[in-house]
Amino acid sequence: MANTSDIKKGLCIVFNNDTYKITDFQHVKPGKGPAFVRTKMKSLTTGKSLDNTFSSGHKIEEVRVETRKYQYLYPEGDTYHFMNTDDYNQITLEKETLDAPELLKEGEIVTIIIRTSDELPLAVEMPAHVYLQVTHTEPGIKGNTATNATKPAVVETGAKVNVPLFINEGDKIKIETQKGTYMERVKE
């Protein structure tokens, strides 16, 4: 058992009979009253986010987890197949455990969080950004680049991303996986 002083980003805990990962926290010591810890947590089973406040000294049950590198192989309906890069064992995960499955390209390396007590995969951490090729977008109109206007584009994985007007089909772009937004065009 741990307590609130052990709370840090990335810590996995049991809360309301579910496994949560702490995504953000803040220790608060008001002028009056006891100290407390304000947390943002994400369920590793459902993917839902939750805000919770723990009073100082509150006991929390910590979950032992390991992170392992896996290579994304292919989708099959609502399941996704991954291979461990160390021992080549394969696992399949449901679509709900992935944050941005539409941005996964075959061969991409991801980090999978696994509960050590029963070897259960809990969540998939995507890289911070991915590089994908634009397969379809409308051509930009010459001279219409003075504003921050965007247009929809479809990338090689089938995801739709808003891109600036100067992006054309065949361009490679960098996409932030957490928000699914365009970052920059990649020079080859």
Q: How far, in Å, CA of 126 to CA of 123, rounded?
A: 10
- Does the fold of domain 129-186 match that of domain 65-125? yes
Which residues does the chain have with pLDDT short of 70?
Answer: 140-147
Q: What is the CATH number of domain 65-125?
A: 2.40.50.140
Q: Write down the architecture of domain 2-62 according to CATH.
A: Roll (2.30)
Which pair of structure tokens corresponds to residue 142? 């010459």
Quote the pLDDT of residue 71: 94
Quote the pLDDT of residue 122: 82
Domain segments of the chain as ranges: 2-62, 65-125, 129-186
Quote the pLDDT of residue 21: 87
- Tell me the pTM: 0.74
Phi-psi region of 158 (alpha: psi -120 to 50; beta: other; left: phi over 0): left
pLDDT tens readout for residues 21-40: 888 999 998 888 889 999 99
According to CATH, the topology of domain 129-186 is OB fold (Dihydrolipoamide Acetyltransferase, E2P) (2.40.50)
